[in-house]
Amino acid sequence: MVTGRSAREPKLLLVDELSLGLAPLIVNRLLCAVREAAASTGVGMLLVEQHVRKALDVADRVCIMRRGRIERSGTVSEMAARTG
């Protein structure tokens, strides 16, 4: 018998380019909703986003990738200080 969470109770939420093609106001609302849902249920979230500022608004930790390799990683405060 397999135990654990079902598809209705995921451990991880994958969010890929949520801002692509959407108005900034809608993107902000969606990111806040996703963040709140993940926090209230204890689900981890992996966000792939090209807009750094938007990612920093909802993330705990950040990895910046270039050509498939992690260039920088750290907490939001560390990364915000590095990116200005």
Residue 33 lies in a domain: yes
Please check whether residue 3 lies inside any domain of the structure: no
68 lies in some domain: yes
In a domain? residue 4: no
Residue 29, domain member (yes or no): yes
pLDDT digits (tens, 9 = 90+) for 1-50: 445 656 677 888 888 988 888 898 898 898 889 889 888 988 888 888 88
- Buried b / exposed e along 8-42 (16+ C-beta atoms within 10 A): eeeeeeebeebbeeeeeeebeeebeebbeebeeee
34-47 pLDDT tens trace: 889 888 988 888 88
Per-residue model confidence as pLDDT tens digits over 57-73: 888 888 888 899 999 89
35 lies in which domain range? 12-83
- Judge whether 18 lies within some domain: yes
